Amino acid sequence: MSLAEEIILLTLDEKSGKFIQVPEYAFRYALSGATLMDLAFKGRIDTDTDSLFIINNSPTGDDVLDMVFQLIKEEKENKNCRYWIEYLGRESQNIQMMTLERLCDAGILKQEEKLVFWVFKSRRYPTIDGYPEKEVKQRIMALLFSDEIPDPRDIAIVAMADTCRIFETMFSRQEYEKIKNKILEIGKLELISQNLSKVVREIEFQLAQASTIGPM
């Protein structure tokens, strides 16, 4: 299962089939970061403090990752990780829809649409096979409330979920306070995660500044 798939399962409410309320911009960047991390795990790209670069040109066989990988390969100038997180954030709707379709094709989710006030369509993705969703949630919860050493994929998931503010929704305020420092420490273990966190925090700062200044 891809990181984008696991992030989507974390943000879906199992009973209602609707997405939990998380900042839209954070979710977009989390999906873009997830695809970059999956490309890194598959040995297609690598990063350092200054750049993101290709180390293997061959396709992955994953339609979502190969779509993103093609965009990276078409770029003539060397760009850094932050650039690609922001750039792919604008492609996040495609990433999300392709990932949801794949989860539906795999029989994990199903798509339902209902009319709201006879005008707008409300789309839901109730779970058919609840095991994958429960597995990722239980795995991450067990990690956060133990001294277990995380593997690279779980480091990525924790960083993505923290960026989306998922943990603040999953846990009570008291529970979140207990694990907050561990979440921060785990997020420091991965370079793409650090870049992602910086991008989202800077956007939040800009939004806070704009709301303080108000309209001119």
Q: What integer pLDDT is reported at residue 118 of this predicted model?
A: 47
Contact between residue 174 and residue 4 where contact means Cβ atoms under 8 Å apart:
no
pTM (two decimals): 0.78
Q: How confident is the model at residue 116 (pLDDT cuts 50, 70, 90)?
A: very low
Q: Where are the alpha helices (DSSP H) in the chain?
A: 3-11, 24-41, 63-74, 81-89, 92-105, 131-144, 152-163, 166-170, 173-187, 191-213
Task: Look at the block and give the residue holding tokens 């649409």.
Answer: 113
What's phi and psi for 29, nearest 5 deg? -70, -30
Q: What integer pLDDT is reported at residue 56 of this predicted model?
A: 96
The share of the chain scoring above pLDDT 70, in percent, equals 83
Give CA–CA dist 206/212, Å, rounded.
10
Which residue, 171, 189, 136, is CA-closest to 10? 136
Q: What is the pLDDT of residues 159-171, one digit of tens each?
A: 888 887 888 887 8
